[in-house]
Every structure is written in C-alpha cells, then in structure tokens.
Amino acid sequence: MQQRRTFLSHTGHWLLGAAALHGLAGPAGAQARQRVAIAVPGPGNLLFLPITLAGKLGMDRAEGIELDIRYVGGGPQAYRDMLERNADFAAGGLAALALQKLSGKPVVGIVPTTRVPAYTLLVRMDLKGKVKSIKDLNGKVVGVKGHVPGGRSTSQLFAEYVMARGAGSQADAVNYVSVGQNYDNQHAALASGTVDAIMGDEPFATRLVKEKVAFVLADYHDLETTRQQMGGLFLNGSVATRDDVIASRPELVEKMVRTITRTLVWINSHTARDMVDALGLQDPKERAALFDVLKVQKRIYSPDGLISDSQVASVTRFLHATEHTPAARAFDVKTLMNARWAGSAP
C-alpha cells in the first residue's frame, strides 16, 4: 500500500508538514499548482531526502507544482508504479533503472540525487568474530531492499558486486531476501536471525549499530572509498520518468528537475543542522539521531544536480560486472540519462 507524505517517527522517519519554509511557497492564492505524483522508496530513505526537503522548503511550489510523494517498497516497485501510470516520476537506483531499460521499458533518468553508493554492509552482532571479511558471507543470507518480482534493487546489485569483488562469489552463492524500507523490519530481520547481514543505508544503519543489533563490515558512503572501490564517484540515487512524459510534457519534466536541483544546491550550501530544522522534526531523539547521520554523510548528495559523465561511467562498469547478458555488457548507461534540463559535467 502506498504511503503519502507521512513519516513515522518511531522508525526514524521525518514528519512532513504542509507549511513551506523560507518564503519559497509562492502566493497564498496559488491554488492552480499542479499535483505531481512521484513514487519514492521509503519512507525514511536518506538517498531520497532531497525529495522530502523539496516539499518542506517549498521548492516544488516555487515551480508551480506540488509533489505528491507516494512511498513504496523499493526502486523496482517505484519504477513499476511509474510504468503503470500511478505516478509520472519515480526515484530509485540508477543501476536498477538500467535493468528496466534493458528489459524494454520506456524509462529515462533526468536528475541525480547522490554521487556515492551510500550503502553500509552490516552484519548481525552475534556473528562478530566469525564474520571478519566479505568472503565470510559466502553461503549466508543477506538482506536487501526492494527484492520484488519487478526486478532486483540497486542494493542487491551492489551486494552482488561487493561479494564478487571481495569474495569471488557468484550471485547464487548468497541468498538475498527483502528486508524492506523501514527500521523496524530491518531490526526484526537481524534480531531474529532471519538474515546474517544487510546491505543497508542511513539513517537506519547508524541506529542498528548504536543499538548493538549489528556491526559495520564495510561502509560505502565515503567519497574516497567510493573512488577506490568503484573507479570514481557513483551516480546512485536518481529521479526518472517515462519516455511519453518527456515527449508530451517537457515543461513538467523541467519543473521537476529544477525542483530537485534547487534543493541539492540548498543542501550543499547549508549545514546538517539546517537540514534537520527544515524537516521540522518534533522528537528530540529523532532530531539528534538524524543530525548525527547527516553531519557525517551530507556529502553523499550531488552538489548541483548535474549529470556527471564520469559517475555514469562508473555505473556502466558496475552494470557490466553484475549483469552478464550480451545486451547488458553492450549497454552504456549514458544513453539512459537525459541531461537536457539538469545539464552535464565531466
């Protein structure tokens, strides 16, 4: 079931209000704003925090639109909802979007949100001392997000990539299961022993470690680590649309791109404290937990929304390493991205 503009505080999600901040909402009488549905993995996924902030800051309303955020169980489901016309836009991992394109779906990426994988490989705490390296996960159960009939999520693709590089594992050497998009499900999966590890993300990873449910085996949020592991920065989170939306409503696509880009520029010029304040969190513990994550991880976001050729090239190499069909090996992810509105960079 889709969730709209609601974050549950007990699972570390951000509460969304209707009031715009910083005077960006436009005139009070602007009832003509167009509601624009976007399917987003979540709620509470840090990769797509810029979409949440766009609504809180009034960046969407400044463009004459109002984001109707519909939360789903992962990137593949978000793309499926978009393709089924339940939404005109979707957020998800770029590698998972490439798989949609390879299967013949009319999808196109229009603006990035992040520039690193932004995943943390967590291992169940009772396995500390037994799992000391990635190769020790061979034969284990690893939780990923969005493992649904609609396709493998980018978190699963990344887990496969990490296992292949660190342990020489084939994809079937590890059993991948879905642990969903919220803290409660991930906590339960680890605490019950249903999974041995999780390819997780923030803000849940920090909380799982703090509560001693899991320990960090590898962290892929750091810029330098990403360059070393991926051969360059890595365009992961992105916003996509359908080909028909590009063709018939280019002005709407432009408004969406400007909404996200303006938010990314705002994030780059403001502090972690500013971001937490803008989200309007009421629970002091929740505010503190998110601040602790953002003050370390704020650099995961694209600073300008430009589509970087080098980052897209990293995704192409990643796709070639995880997909072994002739079509995938010949696919250039650059052809998946339309830089008409976001612009491009080296």
Per residue in 298-318, pLDDT (tens digit) is 999 999 999 999 999 999 988
Chain centroid to CA 47: 4
Per residue in 90-120, pLDDT (tens digit) is 999 888 899 899 999 999 999 999 999 989 9
Per residue in 114-168, pLDDT (tens digit) is 999 989 999 999 999 999 999 999 999 999 976 555 567 788 888 988 888 876 6
Does 159 share its domain with 96?
A: no
Whether residue 20 is predicted with pLDDT greater than 80 in this model: the reply is no
> For residue 226, is it within any domain?
no
Look at residues 270, 260, 330 and name the one whose alpha carbon lies nearest to residue 298: 270
Count CB neighbours of 293 within 10 A. Answer: 21
Task: Give strand ranges (E) for the chain.
Answer: 3-4, 34-41, 65-72, 89-93, 107-112, 120-124, 141-144, 175-178, 197-200, 214-219, 237-242, 307-308, 344-345
Q: What is the CATH number of the domain that holds 200?
A: 3.40.190.10
Does 8 share its domain with 110?
A: yes
Do residues 329 and 320 lie in contact, with contact meaning Cβ atoms separated by under 8 Å? yes
Task: Give strand ranges (E) for 99-211.
Answer: 107-112, 120-124, 141-144, 175-178, 197-200
Coil, strand or helix: which one is 181? coil
Does 51 share its domain with 79?
A: yes
Does 263 share its domain with 240?
A: yes
- Domain edge (last residue) among 184, 219, 254: 219
- Taking residues 283-302, report their average pLDDT: 90
* Residue numbers of the domain that contains 155: 120-219
Q: Is the pTM of this model over 0.95?
A: no
Does 79 share its domain with 30?
A: yes
- Taking residues 194-201, report their average pLDDT: 94
C-alpha count within 13 angstroms, C-beta hemisphere, residue 304: 9
| pLDDT class of 323 with cuts at 50, 70, 90 | confident
> For residue 331, is it within any domain?
yes
- Domain edge (last residue) among 195, 219, 243: 219
The Cα–Cα gap between 162 and 174 comes to: 12
Angle formed by the axes of helices 272-279 and 284-297, nearest 10°:
140
Does 169 share its domain with 257?
A: no
